[in-house]
Amino acid sequence: MPGRNFLFVPGPTNVPERILRAMDRAMEDHRSSAFPELTVPLFRDLKEVFKTTTGQAFIFPATGTGGWEAALVNTLSPGDRVIAPRYGQFSHLWIDLAQRHGLRVDVLDVEWGEGAPAERIGEILSQDREHEIKGVLIVHNETATGVTSDVGAVRTAMDAARHPALLYVDGVSSIGSIDFRMDEWKVDLAITGSQKGLMLPAGLAIVCASPKALAARESARCPRVFFDFGDMLRANPSGYFPYTPSIPMLYGLRESLAILSEEGLDNIFARHRRLAEGVRAAVRAWGLKLCAKAPKWQSDTVSAILVPEGFNGADVIDVAFRRYNLALGAGLARMAGKLFRIGHLGDLNELMLLGAIAGAEMAMRDVGIPVTVGSGVAAAAEYYRGTAAPLLARGAATQSPDAVQTAGGKTTPRVTVRA
């Protein structure tokens, strides 16, 4: 099919040309004296992305699932008790992984479309007077349902209960795209993957551990070899790894971190909020609903859009791909067939996202869903026009303190132009 594929799943995301060029290089000796010039700054700069001054970043050749495993096995022992709310497919899978490692998981089932129940977690912890619970597992952004949880509220509940449990956070589809504050929220283990906000191919699991988490290694008895923090701690300070790293991915990561730094994290978060609000405007114009039950849960990196009763979301996805070369995210597990997902994270802008909205709109019409052609595109375009930089003069774009009030009570910084 001529033209480019429109990739709008919530990961893997589009890889910028700069990163592709950085990765396109000959192999080199990963034990040479020059190799630390590449690697040592990575560990330092990753701390900026996690917003931590005290955390230790680890880079594994894996995916986010490997990051889940690394976080758990380095800090817990078989039989340890943890609590984990389940409100989507990825929280479900993390629970399954923990159980396979012999951990006792208190599963808190939550309606899919809602986020982590902070008050309920706090109540459970306050009743655990013997401090038997060793950890709390939270998926910050549940891509299966398009829901973002309030990690800060979970930490507040844990502190109110005066409980020493470790706080584990899956930030795979949030870190680098949605505000994440490791130190402020006292997150002990934060996990992300390379293929989302970092705009890389899949292949790196990045885990950031607090000093408290590193101290827990001393008593943790879960078996670990490939994911052992200890081996990394012995090798990483001098710029090396205990085994062969993915050299192209490390060069790509260096370029990714440069791109993030150039745009600035706060600007990146504002851009994702603004792009997401345009998608939400399109969904309202279509007369459809998001899986997220309330505006406070709505994700700025993926929108899970419910199809009307009697239609199958998988049909929309199939037609979009075969007829319009557009890749949309599928409904997973209990949401299979009930929705389709538009990923809006990483390297993208308004016009790219309008293309995805247009393709989704046409595919819905093709399968018989009674949306008005052009309604979603028009609503999103008007939102983007209304929140774009006023064209005052030629110059570089900067962020203004002015803000635009948007649906759900959220605010989106307005971009202004500096002459």
CATH number of 264-417: 3.90.1150.10
Burial 363-390 (b: 16+ CB within 10 A, else e): bbeebebebeeebbbbbbbebbeebeee
Per-residue three-class SS string for the chain: CCCCCEEECCCCCCCCHHHHHHHCCCCCCCCCCCCHHHHHHHHHHHHHHHCCCCCEEEEECCCHHHHHHHHHHCCCCCCCEEEEEECCHHHHHHHHHHHHCCCEEEEEECCECECCCHHHHHHHHHHCCCCCEEEEEEECEECCCCEECCHHHHHHHHHHCCCCCEEEEECCCCCCCCCCCCCCCCCCEEEEECCCCCCCCCCCEEEEECHHHHHHCCCCCCCCCCCCHHHHHHHHHHCCCCCCCCHHHHHHHHHHHHHHHHHCHHHHHHHHHHHHHHHHHHHHHHCCEECCCCHHHECCCEEEEECCCCCCHHHHHHHHHHHHCEEEEECCHHHCCCEEEEECCCCCCHHHHHHHHHHHHHHHHHCCCCCCCCHHHHHHHHHHHHCCCCCCCCCCEEEEEEEEECHHHCEEEEEEECC
pLDDT given at position 406: 44
Domain 17-262: which topology? Aspartate Aminotransferase; domain 2 (3.40.640)
pLDDT given at position 402: 46
Q: Range(s) for CATH 3.90.1150.10 in the chain?
A: 264-417
**What is the pLDDT tens value at each position of the chain, 419 positions in all?**
789 999 999 999 999 999 999 999 999 999 999 999 999 999 999 999 999 999 999 999 999 999 999 999 999 999 999 999 999 999 999 999 999 999 999 999 999 999 999 999 999 999 999 999 999 999 999 999 999 999 999 999 999 999 999 999 999 999 999 999 999 999 999 999 999 999 999 999 999 999 999 999 999 999 999 999 999 999 999 999 999 999 999 999 999 999 999 999 999 999 999 999 999 999 999 999 999 999 999 999 999 999 999 999 999 999 999 999 999 999 999 999 999 999 999 999 999 999 999 999 999 999 999 999 999 999 999 999 999 988 765 544 444 444 444 444 455 444 433 32
Q: Range(s) for CATH 3.40.640.10 in the chain?
A: 17-262
